[in-house]
Amino acid sequence: MSEDLSRKKMATRLIHAGAEPDPSTGAIMTPIFQTSTYVQEAPGVNKGFEYARSQNPTRKALETAYAIIENGKYGLAFSSGVAVTDAVIKLLSPGDEVIAAQDMYGGTYRLFTKVFEKFGIRFKYVDTTVAENVSAAITPATKLVWIETPTNPLMNITDIAAVSAITKNAGAILCVDNTFATPYFQNPLDLGADIVMHSATKYLGGHSDVIQGALMMNSKDLYDQLYFIQKSCGAVPGPMDCFLVLRGIKTLHVRMKQHNENGYTIAHFLRKHPSVDKVFWAGFSDHPNHQIAKTQMRGFGGMMSFTLKDDSVEAAKKVLSSTRLFSLAESLGGVESLINHPASMTHASIPREERIKTGLTDGLIRLSVGIEDADDLVEDLKQAIG
Ligand SMILES: *Cc1c(COP(=O)(O)O)cnc(C)c1O
């Protein structure tokens, strides 16, 4: 593809990113190069591929696509979202400090506290929805600021541009977990972030059939360091998984439009339901960070959470086990709707007191609204909530 995709609109970029006809056959889909090594003509004379942990053509096509869809210069694919987080923290040294959002994906918190604290990296958790809290927490040892926006599962919004200005001023790196918004709705690199990460398992893959992580950045120096970590630590995805994510990305825009439309319908349905107490969704005009959400996002998507007026675990469990279209499962971002109980499932690794402090109560229910017919989804929730 000789076309300059950087000048094209999002839908065109998503479909054509990384896609070159295979030079040996003309195949329009990137072949799955299921190989561990490459035959060399003479020692050191090769086609740029030596060993598949370091380079694989299917992965290379996907990494090119990753860069293009986030308006970045470089992309890297890892075997999972947490492998990406692991790689980014490995940029640091013992004694370095990370400022992280107090309300994040539970697995990120677990990796920080249970794995990296042991290696002498220090983590401070702050409410990043107030950018001043980040500046107040910065010290000369701060090397990285890690935010997630919207957050999982409370849909809190952090002002990326404001935190980026603070982080730059301190000479630290800003990494944004953009899993929930996806590149279709939000592009953190354009707002000043240094690194964007995605659990590609979710919306980028989009079909609940692959585990993968993505990294995007503009700095050659960061790319070189992270590529070195990728090949040295070895958390690389297999070529079949890269193919699946490449295929998923081609329909991201169509899926996200529908997730957004269905999300709007479900959020408003829940809000009007007499048994529902709070609904957490950034699209409501009275969401505390709605103004920032509206400025930095182009849509609010299908992720939301809610509590019942009866905030007991029993009442929540009754809803969680009564839905028929919404499947009770961890994960999110697939075409099918999922329902989840963060306190006992995705966020069980966060100690209860920490959880409650951030508003993640025992009765909170999270929805990943899929792209089925919205009327059927409303009916399903109606019969489950009663
Ligand atoms: C799922 C998820 C991750 C972790 O990704 P895996 O692909 O499961 O390793 C990180 N951040 C967010 C926001 C997630 O939802």
Q: CA-CA distances (angstroms) from residue 127 to 82, 101, 329?
A: 22, 6, 28
d(CA 90, ligand 1 centre) in Å = 18
CB atoms within 10 A of CB 120: 11
- Same domain, yes or no, for 288 and 245? no
Helix (H, G, I), strand (E, B) or coil at 355: helix
Q: Please name which of 149, 109, 98, 152 lies closest in space to residue 128, comparing C-alpha atoms.
A: 149
- Please give the Cα distance from 346 to 327 (Å, whole number): 15
- Same domain, yes or no, for 360 and 374? yes
- Same domain, yes or no, for 275 and 352? yes
Residues marked as catalytic: 53, 105, 177, 202
Residue with CA at minimum distance from ligand 1 atom 12: 105
Mutation pick for ligand 1 pocket among 179, 209, 212 (CB with most ligand atoms within 8 Å): 179
Domain edge (last residue) among 229, 249, 269: 249
- Same domain, yes or no, for 145 and 38? yes
d(CA 86, ligand 1 centre) in Å = 12
Mutation pick for ligand 1 pocket among 78, 79, 80, 82 (CB with most ligand atoms within 8 Å): 82
Three-class SS string for 239-289? HHHHHHHHHHHCCHHHHHHHHHHHHHHHHHHHHHCCCEEEEECCCCCCCCC
The predicted pLDDT at position 5 comes to 86
The predicted pLDDT at position 321 comes to 96
- Same domain, yes or no, for 211 and 278? no
Mutation pick for ligand 1 pocket among 151, 199, 245 (CB with most ligand atoms within 8 Å): 199
Domain edge (last residue) among 189, 218, 249: 249
Range of the domain at 107: 5-249
Residue with CA at minimum distance from ligand 1 atom 1: 199
d(CA 155, ligand 1 centre) in Å = 15
Ligand 1 nearest atom to the CA of residue 179, by list position: 13
- Please give the Cα distance from 234 to 53 (Å, whole number): 6
d(CA 101, ligand 1 centre) in Å = 15
Ligand 1 neighbours (beta carbon < 6 A): 80-82, 105, 107-108, 148, 152, 177, 179-180, 199, 201-202, 211, 213
Q: CA-CA distances (angstroms) from residue 245 to 52, 332, 343, 377?
A: 18, 15, 29, 26
- Same domain, yes or no, for 187 and 269? no
The predicted pLDDT at position 1 comes to 47
- Same domain, yes or no, for 237 and 339? no
First to last CA, the chain: 54
Q: What CATH number did the domain enclosing 320 receive?
A: 3.90.1150.10
Residue with CA at minimum distance from ligand 1 atom 5: 81
pLDDT string in tens for the chain (386-residue length) = 457 888 899 999 999 999 999 999 999 999 999 999 999 999 989 999 999 999 999 999 999 999 999 999 999 999 999 999 999 999 999 999 999 999 889 899 999 999 999 999 999 999 999 999 999 999 999 999 999 999 989 999 999 999 999 999 999 999 999 999 999 999 999 999 999 999 999 999 999 999 999 999 999 999 999 999 999 999 999 999 999 999 999 999 999 999 999 999 999 999 999 999 999 999 999 999 999 999 999 999 999 999 999 989 999 999 999 999 999 999 999 999 999 999 998 888 888 998 888 889 999 999 999 999 999 999 999 999 99
Residue with CA at minimum distance from ligand 1 atom 9: 81
Our separate counts of H helices and E strands in the chain read 14, 12
Where residue 331 falls (left for φ over 0; alpha for ψ -120 to 50; beta otherwise) is: left
d(CA 142, ligand 1 centre) in Å = 24
> Which position has the token pair 């640091």?
92
- Same domain, yes or no, for 376 and 294? yes
Q: Enter the tokens of residue 286.
A: 């009275």
Q: Note whether 256 and 184 are within 8 A (CB).
A: yes
**155: which residues sit within 8 A by CB, 6+ positions away?**
180, 280, 281, 282, 287, 303, 304, 305
Domain edge (last residue) among 249, 264, 293: 249
What does the pLDDT look like over 321-379, one tens digit per residue? 999 999 999 999 999 999 999 999 888 888 899 888 888 999 999 999 999 999 999 99
Q: What CATH number did the domain enclosing 61 receive?
A: 3.40.640.10
- Same domain, yes or no, for 331 and 244? no
Q: Please name which of 93, 85, 101 lies closest in space to residue 143, comparing C-alpha atoms.
A: 93
- Same domain, yes or no, for 203 and 76? yes
- Same domain, yes or no, for 261 and 162? no
Cis bond before residue 342 (omega within 30° of 0): no
Residue with CA at minimum distance from ligand 1 atom 2: 199
Alpha helices in the chain (DSSP H): 10-16, 57-69, 81-89, 106-110, 131-137, 160-169, 182-185, 220-233, 239-249, 252-272, 290-296, 313-320, 352-357, 374-385
- Same domain, yes or no, for 267 and 374? yes
State how many domains the chain has: 2
CB atoms within 10 A of CB 261: 15
Question: What is the C-alpha radius of gyration for the chain, rounded to an integer number of angstroms?
Answer: 21
